[in-house]
């Protein structure tokens, strides 16, 4: 087997020594080329090259969810093709590693590498669905290129939190769960649309859902983790169905306290609920429109502001080694 290992040297939870150990372990079982990323978007470029090559069977992403997202977008730059595209394997090296953990991999790079080697020896893999987001035709965002996401996207509040965390990291702060909590509080205090939502969700053949102040799009569950605590925004979301949406129509102090508590105590059977909460399951196509530009994120990466985004749930998009 010929494999490409894409290594993010800035991965939060792996040292250079650990990465060397993992590379040697993988190289002992396959013909491996290891490439260290040097700039933002490099992992996407490497994934594209692997997709276009004729001799790569597997791409291994060693890094966090951002690295995985880039590799996936590179692999699928011409769309899904289960018969010809390389498979993907993920070695978690970030601070949260939602995609790897949702696949059932250990949240430890060494243990996950062992699990991947076992899966390769046993020839076990699964096919997962992915989300696709693009600018909406006929809007000012129509020229925004489409982009894949593996586990979540968000327009509004949660994307604002992601943007604040990225700003803090650029200033040298470590990506910790305490950092995220502080930025949630700051985003809430400065959120201009928390009492009157400005988003509308449109689904073909359905009445529009109006006045949303928050929208979280999930491709799997959990939505994220706070330390080792999983948080389920849409408990029914899976890699085998379409996309799920959690929308909140109010972000007042009492509403945030209530829904925040529900997220912290959520489970595979129960997520946020209430008269201001909207939960939609297994959507294939829908669009979010906003009356004002709002921050947008995918897989934990802040992508600027948008006023309209069209989403597609694509089943059986990628083969993953697990």
The string of DSSP codes covering 87-117 is EEEEEE-SSS-HHHHHTT--SSHHHHHHHHH
- Give dist(CA 105, CA 115) in Å, integer: 7
In the prediction, which pLDDT does 186 show? 86
Largest CA-CA distance found in the chain, in angstroms, rounded: 57
In the prediction, which pLDDT does 61 show? 98
Query: Which residues neighbour 223 within 8 Å (Cβ) at sequence distance 6 or greater?
Result: 98, 151, 152, 216, 231, 232, 233, 234, 237, 246
Alpha helices in 265-317 (DSSP H): none
- Give dist(CA 93, CA 61) in Å, integer: 9
Angle subtended at Cα 20 by Cα 18 and Cα 25, rounded to the nearest 5 degrees? 95
In the prediction, which pLDDT does 276 show? 92
In the prediction, which pLDDT does 226 show? 87
Q: Which residues pair with 318 in a beta bridge?
A: 128
In the prediction, which pLDDT does 50 show? 98
pLDDT in tens, the chain (322 residues): 999 999 999 888 888 999 999 999 999 999 999 999 999 999 999 999 999 999 999 999 999 999 999 999 999 999 999 999 999 999 999 989 999 999 999 999 999 999 999 999 999 999 999 999 999 999 999 999 999 999 999 999 889 988 988 888 788 887 777 887 888 888 888 887 777 899 999 999 999 999 999 999 999 999 999 888 999 999 999 999 999 999 999 888 898 899 999 999 999 999 999 999 999 999 999 999 999 999 999 999 999 999 999 999 999 999 999 9
- CB-CB contact of 144 with 288 (8 Å): no
């Amino acid at each position: 087997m010929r494999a490409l290992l894409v290594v993010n040297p800035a991965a939060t939870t792996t040292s250079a020594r650990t990465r060397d150990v993992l590379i040697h372990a993988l190289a002992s079982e396959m013909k491996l080329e290891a490439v260290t990323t040097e700039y933002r978007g490099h992992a996407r470029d490497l994934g594209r090259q692997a997709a276009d090559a004729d001799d790569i069977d597997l791409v291994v992403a060693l890094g966090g969810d951002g690295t995985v997202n880039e590799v996936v977008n590179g692999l699928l730059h011409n769309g899904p093709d289960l018969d010809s595209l390389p498979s993907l394997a993920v070695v978690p090296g970030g601070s949260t590693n939602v995609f790897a953990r949702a696949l059932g991999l250990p949240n430890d790079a060494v243990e996950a590498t062992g699990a991947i080697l076992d899966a390769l020896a046993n020839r076990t893999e699964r096919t997962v669905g992915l989300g696709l987001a693009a600018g909406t035709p006929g809007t000012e965002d129509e020229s925004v290129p489409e982009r894949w996401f593996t586990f979540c996207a968000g327009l509004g509040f949660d994307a604002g939190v992601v943007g604040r965390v990225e700003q803090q990291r650029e200033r040298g702060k470590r990506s910790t769960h305490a950092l995220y909590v502080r930025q949630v509080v700051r985003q809430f205090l400065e959120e201009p649309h928390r009492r009157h939502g400005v988003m509308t969700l449109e689904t073909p053949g359905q009445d529009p859902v109006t006045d949303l102040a928050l929208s979280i799009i999930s491709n799997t569950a959990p939505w994220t983790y706070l330390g080792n605590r999983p948080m389920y925004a849409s408990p029914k979301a899976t890699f085998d169905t379409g996309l799920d949406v959690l929308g909140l129509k109010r972000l007042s102090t009492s509403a945030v306290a209530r829904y925040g508590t529900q997220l912290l105590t959520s489970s595979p059977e129960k997520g946020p609920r209430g008269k201001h909460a909207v939960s939609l399951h297994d959507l294939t196509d829908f669009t979010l429109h906003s009356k004002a530009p709002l921050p947008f994120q995918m897989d934990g990466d802040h992508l600027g502001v948008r006023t309209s985004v069209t989403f597609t749930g694509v089943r059986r998009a990628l083969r993953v080694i697990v």
